[in-house]
Structures are given as structure tokens and as C-alpha cells.
Amino acid sequence: MKRIGMLTSGGDCQALNAAMRGVVKSLINSEEEVEIYGFLNGYKGLIYGDFKMLTGRDFAGILTVGGTILGSSRTPFKTIKDPDENGLDKVEAMKQNYYKLRLDCLVILGGNGTHKTANLLREEGLNVITLPKTIDNDLYGTDMTFGFQSAVDIATECIDCIHTTAASHSRVFIVEVMGHKVGYLTLNAGMAGGADIILIPEIPYDIDKVVEAIKQREERGSRFTIIAVAEGAISKEDAKLSKKEYAKKLEKMPHPSVSYEVAAAIQERTGQEVRVTVPGHTQRGGSPCPYDRVFASRLGAEAGKLILEGEYGFMVGYRNREIVKVPLEDVAGKLKMLDPKATIIQEAKMLGISFGD
């Protein structure tokens, strides 16, 4: 008998259900007797013992369903060791609920913050296996995370739709894509959607260079410009500020986001009309794309294999087109940034895309 706990933590994304389904189906098809405990709303469910027993039937028909049947929430790692409002030791509570249910393993699906807590639980002696979930694709130790490709598809479709209206108007169109710290999503969606300028956090932009690129398009007879902007894009001037200084500036910024700041600067320098579109959380929603369905299922199946073999303390990742197991201590606390010198950046520039640098 294997007793497995499962939870999904952090922001939701496509293919969470597909990944959990992969874990459960691989265990059931092994003919191993299994009990599944689903903790509700992320780590909160593990802390407060909020769970429900699940069977294979609960995972039937969810391959194509977005979101998570277990619910999710954010439980910041920086406060995980702080007592809750009633003085409860959260880490100890998670351990006790794990032991009360006599779990053999805890399967945790999440991104960077989630993996920090997962590694902490591993250090506390719990058997943990994780799966890499985030639309940002910024999780260290894996070339790909599930949810990323689905988000790229949605953001690309948004840029595609902007193209049709752009062709009718002489304007600059900005599409703000999710990504506070890294630019994988914006870069891929921008290239796929034919954006003329792409602004990402890893390459601080010079607004004058952005304006120059727009004017060069005008001189070549182009009536419009499409700019894909990561929500974490930053100017060269702001990149020189300390984190505290930049945080203070953001508090006083008169614009809702960096995209509107860029739009105002372009309009002031060129006199052109600028429109901003923010697809926002639609990038996390809807059904997972076929790639993510397959990818998440593969990751889940490999997680089931690790459970059956009693190998714990790993994230199931993807490197060089192969599913691999990565030690949790190698993942936790690390961010996978986009290298400004990466070949994909150089190739994008060869295609005539400006990064404002």
C-alpha cells in the first residue's frame, strides 16, 4: 500500500490536472494498491489538515481541464517559519499532518517559491517529489515547465489579434505579457506573433532606442509597430537603482504598469497614438495545449515511477529532451534567467527585432 499526498501551490496554470492525472494513472496501472490524499488550496491544506480522499475516478476526464481540482494558494516561503495568527508552527503542523496520515510521499506541483518550501520539508525528513509548474519557465534545473507553452499560445494569439487591427490604423500597439523577473514568455510570444520590438527584464531598454526603431519602421513604409513588453521590463536608468530605490519609484509611478509608462514616453517623443493591451490572467487560463498535455503527463508518469521505486527528494525535470530527476537542493532558491547572449536573442535580432538596447 502506498499512501500519497498531493497539493498544488502558487499561481495556477494549465496542465496541473494533467500532471496529477499522470501521477495517479501510473500508480494505478502498476497494480500497486494506493491511497491518495489531496490537500486543498496548496500548503494551507497541509498546514491545517484540510484534505480529501481521492480515487482514480477523481482524475478521469481532467486531462484537458485547466486550473486545479485541488485549488491553490500562495504561502510565501519567507514567512513559512513564522507562526500563524494563532501561534501555530506551520512547518511542524505540516510534518504532523504528514505523519498522521502515514504518508509514504508528498507530491508537490509548483514554481520557485513552492520548491523552496518543498526542499525545506525534505530537510525536515519528509519524502517529497515535485513537478515543475509555471508559465514563466523560470524554474532552475529544467529546460521546460508545464504551463509555459499554453501561455505562449495565448499571448501569441493576443498579438495575432492586435496585428489585424494594427493593419487598419497608424498606431503603436503594446501587448503586455506576464513575467515579472524573466522574459521567456514575452520573447517566445513576441517572436511567434511577429512583434517588432520586445522588451524583457534581462535586457534593460533605452527608450530612445525604442523610439528609433519605431521611426526606422516608418521610414521603411510601415504604418504600425507592435511591441511585446514583459510586465517586469525595466529601463536602463531604473536598472541602475537599488531594489529599494526602484520599489519606491514604482510606488509613486503614475502609470498602472511599465507598458503604460513606455506608451506615454513613445507618444510624447513621436506624437503617435499608442494603445496598450493587457491579456493578464487569461495567459494562465483555459485548457492546456496539446504539448502541455503530453509533457505534464510524462512528468507525472515519471513521478509515479520514482514513488514506486522509493526515490524521493527530487524534482522531475526536463533536460536535453529527456525526462530527468533533479535533486531538490539543486533547484530550491535558484531562478533560471534568460541569457541576453542566448542564441535565440541573437536570432531574433537577425530577424530585425529590437530589444531597445
pTM: 0.94
Residue of 136, 138, 153, 292 marked catalytic: 136
258-295 residue pLDDT tens: 999 999 999 999 888 899 999 999 999 999 999 999 99
167-202 residue pLDDT tens: 787 789 999 999 989 999 999 999 999 999 999 999
CB 224 within 8 A of CB 166: yes
CB 313 within 8 A of CB 92: no
CB 356 within 8 A of CB 234: no
- Write down the pLDDT at residue 186: 98
Alpha-carbon distances of 191 from 138, 150, 159, 187, 262, rounded to whole Å: 18, 15, 10, 6, 20
153 is catalytic: no
116-163 residue pLDDT tens: 999 999 999 999 999 999 999 999 999 999 999 999 999 999 999 998
Q: Which residues, including other chains, have CB under 8 Å from residue 35's CB and lie 6 or more apart?
A: 1, 2, 3, 4, 53
- Write down the pLDDT at residue 253: 80
- Domains belonging to the chain, first-starting first, are 2-146+288-331 (3.40.50.450), 151-284 (3.40.50.460)
